[in-house]
Amino acid sequence: MKVSLPLTKDTVRELKSGQIVYLTGPVLTARDAAHQRLVASIASGEELPIDLTDQTIYYVGPCPAPDDHVIGAAGPTTAARMDKLTIPLLEKGLLGMIGKGPRSTEIAEAVRKYRCVYFIACGGAGALLARNISQVETLAYADLDSEAIKRIEINNFPVIVAIDSYGDSLFA
């Protein structure tokens, strides 16, 4: 199934656990350090540097780009590392997450509760996945280098629905 980004609630409802999906459109990147800053901002009532409404976050810290590419290897990070920092972002309207590996039962329940989706991408294939990224722009936390929040444009980016908006999980 081909899906255009940003996600919509209607599209998310159509996705089913185990389904192969090709994503095209803008995605945000963020890992542990960026998540910590976002959650700290939410907790202190500060305005976020990005709007999370209907966005998808790819858990990735891309390698520096070789001269002839827009990005270096861009493979998924283990999503469970973001579990304790995810729910506040879902409450701010985040609709999609891309990572690798299982999520906690608390996050699987939150995916159902907030009617969003968790996708997995192929770990160990960062150089191959980078071929599906055509643009990169740093949006926030530039001091975090590869872990800064970036907007990337992905084209036919292959993922699998790991937890759908009904709570069905590949890992259950």
pLDDT in tens, 52-110: 999 999 999 998 888 889 999 999 999 999 999 999 999 999 999 999 999 999 999 99
**Phi, psi angle pair for 117, to nearest 5°:** -145, 145
Q: Residue 6, preceding bond cis, omega within 30 degrees?
A: yes
Task: Report which residue type is found at 101.
Answer: G
Domains (range + CATH), the chain: 2-163 (3.20.130.10)
Lowest mean pLDDT among 21-30, 65-74, 149-158: 65-74
Of the listed 15, 34, 35, 169, which one is catalytic? 35
Catalytic annotation present for 69: no
Is the pLDDT at 40 greater than 90? The verdict is: yes
Q: What per-residue confidence (pLDDT) applies to 68?
A: 85
Q: What is the mean pLDDT of the chain?
A: 96
